Amino acid sequence: MNTNSRTKKRLIKYVLLAVLAIAPVCIANAQGESDEFGVWTTLEASKKINKKLKLDFEAELRTIEGLGDLERVSAGAGASYKLTKWLKASAGYIFIYSHNLESKKFKDPVVDEEGNLFSVYNVDHAYWTERHRFHVSLSGDYKIGRVEFTLRERLQYTRTNSATTDETKYDYDLGLDPILSTEDNERIITTAPEFKEAKDNTTLRSRLSAKWDIRNCKFTPFASVELYTRLDEWKGCDKLRYRVGTSYKINKDNEISLFYLYQDANDDDEPKGHAVGIGYSVDL
């Protein structure tokens, strides 16, 4: 065995060890009480126009709190163009119908007209809203042995439409536990419409992924880490997403995949937490 062959095998071994190491780290991080858990299902289809141009279509459904609530449904389309053997450019649009769950906000204590000290909290009821997302990407591939690394830089702009929900205001005596107190000890102040203004979000998503083409095997393990950086409200990297999984080649045109992911921060787009997912893709 020559030196180059031994070096390649070592690199492959290190990549595999890194892939296997990510999963327990993600699971350990996902144990926080504030983390959410969901199930993601995806359907993808692609159509090759010629050697360089390809059209892509996708649909996705996500749940939150296990299978208890639907978080969002989405559908999109795009196109990719191979600039060189290792470099690809792409662009697309995704429509997202997002479910915002009920949320509670605690306010500073207040004193009523009789001098009694009360604390107030507001409850925003659940509501749905539409998002329009546009994105452009540049992806580069580099292969070492049977392991292919891909770096993708994606710039995405998301417009979240305005929406209206109900807001209910409660107050309770500070001597009572706000969680354990009964409705008899609470006083509903008012329930009124709450207007949610439209929002814009411009984000750079940097993703490094690796997949291992195992000789004479239909399974292809993969792993990735993705950094999210808000550009309109500069805070540096404000979210990380880790993913590990494997795909299985059913035949030449059909493939399924299973994966686990964890992301470490809440934002307007997704909650902090972990998810398992299943995907199906077909070449038309």
The pTM of the full predicted model, rounded to 2 decimals, is 0.78
Residue 165 belongs to a domain? no
**Has residue 264 been placed in a domain?**
yes
**Domain-located, residue 263:** yes
In a domain, 194, yes or no: no
Confidence band of 210 (pLDDT split at 50, 70, 90): very high
Q: What is the mean pLDDT of the chain?
A: 82
Contact 227, 243 (CB under 8 A): no
* CATH number of the domain to which 44 belongs: 2.40.160.40
In a domain? residue 192: no
112 is a domain residue? no
Residue 182 in any domain: the answer is: no
Average of per-residue pLDDT across 42-51: 95
For the chain, how many structural domains are there in total? 1
Residues of the domain holding 75: 3-101+125-159+207-283
Q: Please check whether residue 191 lies inside any domain of the structure.
A: no
